[in-house]
Amino acid sequence: EISAKAALVSDLDTGEIILDKNAGDVLPIASLTKLMTATVASELIYLGRSVVIDGAMLRDEVQSYPLKVGERIQAFDLLYPLLMESSNGAARALAAFLGERYFLSQMKAKAMTLSMKETNFEDPAGAGDLNKSTLKDLAKLSKYILEKRRFIFDISRGKDFNFFGINTLSDIANYNEFAEVKNLVGMKNGETKAAEQTILTVWKMSDRRGDSRNIFIGILGSENRAADVEATRAWLKTAFDLK
């Protein structure tokens, strides 16, 4: 029993679908958008570069992390408020390295290369209602991150990297509900009025034979995303002995 309009549970290693509740429906995704923002930034920007925060980067009404106009921040460091506190300002600051319009075009292009055919991005922060996708598309993005950009999931759990010197933002609070759970691989959550609550999680689970599996659990249009994920995890254990 879950409140979500759409839910998907799949094995990212085999492609096997375990649960499909409207997983092909196109719905607003809110800040799940930021996973693509992080992916594109990591591939097109030298993350050792820095940017000066300006007012245009902070134009969204919601600012979950207190970036300040005039401060200079390294691109890699911006991934921490982006992924841990869902900072809209961090998303727009990363896009500013390439110009927001061009950055957005590259987000859309990346979606097409991953065959995310039902996905659209309106802005790099996920603030607009036209940031839409399906859970089947988001599972493709998750598989790509898992295989090619694993550090993005690591950062979502709060892992500290010092690739470009001392990280100034790695010790901030983590708003990802399951960040402390041992077998979480990575996640991102989001919420807007149009999207309601959204969440994307990847878990390391063991099956009856003891084999390790990367399990995707995605939820869109939820009244209580954490409860929906918990209920789904409990169901996986009961029905399939996935632990």
31 has catalytic annotation: yes
**What is the DSSP secondary-structure string of the chain?**
----SEEEEEETTT--EEEEESTTS-EE-GGGHHHHHHHHHHHHS-TT-EEE--GGGG-SS--SS---TT-EEEHHHHHHHHHHS--HHHHHHHHHTT-HHHHHHHHHHHHHHTT-TT-B-S-TTS-STT-EE-HHHHHHHHHHHHHH-HHHHHHHTT----BTBS-SSTTS----TTTT-TTEEEEEEEEETTTEEEEEEEEEEE-TT--EEEEEEEEEEES-HHHHHHHHHHHHHHHH---
Q: Which of 10, 42, 64, 86 is catalytic?
A: 86
Please identify every residue annotated as catalytic.
31, 34, 86
